[in-house]
Amino acid sequence: MKKILLFLLISLAAKAQLSSKAEVVLVTVAPGKELHSAFGHTILWVNDPMNGIDRAYSYGTFNFKTENFYLKFLMGTLPYTISVHSMQDEFNYNAQYEKRGMIAQKLQLDSLQKNAIFQALENNLLPENREYAYKFFYDNCSTRIRDMIERNAPGKYAWKQAPNLEGKSYRDWMNKYLKPNSWVTLGMNLALGVPSNVKATASQSCYLPDNLASATNLAKGLSASPVSLFDAESTQESGFDFTGPYVILGLLSLLVGFFSYKGKFPYLADLALFSVIGLLAWFIFFLGTATNHEVMAWNPASLMLFPLNFPLVIWFARNPLKWKFYIHMVSVFCLVGMIWSGLQFAPMALVGLPIFIRLCRLSFIKQ
């Protein structure tokens, strides 16, 4: 019964026409402290006081109660949906509760364009339309709204007029929002493959809410300058993290190099080193080949860490002379992968450095 009532309410709203006083407003929420909010958020607000319409639409909503939630999230098959709230509720949550800045930009659209956007958003809310396959770079809370505007107000906002948003890859834009010396940042970069290195156009860079706001501001058709709904307090940047990957992986490489040079790196240490990194390599290989995350395909980290090192380390570390060809071959793969990965994000090379040092040492053992 509840589903029927919901369907009827949405259907009635979808048929409603906006008044001449209606506004369509792009609202950009600043990045939050948690990883899921680290890149900001985009809301499209339809406000029509004459008809009592106050609807703030968001994409990228998901349900933790979804069956097999974590498996679907890992596989890239978790369904995401559009949701709608009042603007006051959005303000209360994002500004008052999470203390994130909010900026509003009123879009200069004619009545037909406003109504077209409103009807399209309401149509998306229908049960049969609301779910979609979320893609971080290609289909998220920001790109969905960019596409909504482009489809229903064609040519109104020319994103190409924002040259300041060109020249960076998807990965570069992502890393702008992440701390370099962070395990989370390192992990996210290790998981990304060649598609993330593609140079994004101004329109494609609008997968980030701040970029969509910037492109919209520069495009023809916007009214006055953006208005701040809430100014968040500036946070002090934390100092250098001595437990971050720069230090830990750097020290590990030095220790591996020192004990390898002294000839005091035992078999069990090789077993532990190659097993841990080998399991990581298998996980990265799995993400790139067995999931729907296409941006994780063709990953040079797989070349650098080479999954077959685990379990083959059980044999090649015990008898490197017998496995000399394999060790030489994997050393070359590791070096190429390190250079390739390091050019995209330098700390990634640190992950491969310890095993490259060991592979080089094992390849020169003569007895």
- What pLDDT does residue 249 have? 97
Same domain (yes/no): 79, 222? yes
Same domain (yes/no): 261, 205? no
Same domain (yes/no): 120, 59? yes
For residue 186, tell me if it sits in a domain.
Answer: no
For residue 255, tell me if it sits in a domain.
Answer: yes
79 CB neighbour count, 10 Å cutoff: 14
- What pLDDT does residue 220 have? 55
How many structural domains comprise the chain?
2
Who contacts 128 (Cβ-Cβ below 8 Å, separation ≥6)?
A: none
Same domain (yes/no): 141, 263? no
- Domain residues for 339? 245-363
- The pTM score is 0.89
For residue 238, tell me if it sits in a domain.
Answer: no
The tens digit of pLDDT for each residue in 14-65 reads 456 899 899 999 999 999 988 888 999 999 999 999 999 999 999 988 887 8
What residues does 253 pair with on adjacent strands?
none
The tens digit of pLDDT for each residue in 202-221 reads 999 999 999 999 887 766 55
Same domain (yes/no): 211, 316? no
Same domain (yes/no): 251, 107? no
The tens digit of pLDDT for each residue in 130-153 reads 999 899 999 999 999 999 999 998
Same domain (yes/no): 220, 104? yes
CA 283 to chain centre: 18
Same domain (yes/no): 303, 260? yes
Q: Percent of the chain, pLDDT > 90?
A: 74
What residues does 41 pair with on adjacent strands?
29
- What pLDDT does residue 5 have? 47
Mean pLDDT of 154-163: 76
Mean pLDDT of 282-307: 95
Burial category of 200 from C-beta neighbours within 10 Å (exposed 0-12, middle 13-18, buried 19 and up): buried
Mean pLDDT of 186-199: 96
- What pLDDT does residue 300 have? 95
| Model confidence at 349: pLDDT above 60 | yes
Higher pLDDT, 12 or 160: 160
| Model confidence at 1: pLDDT above 50 | no
Q: What tokens appear for 177 in the block?
A: 């929002």
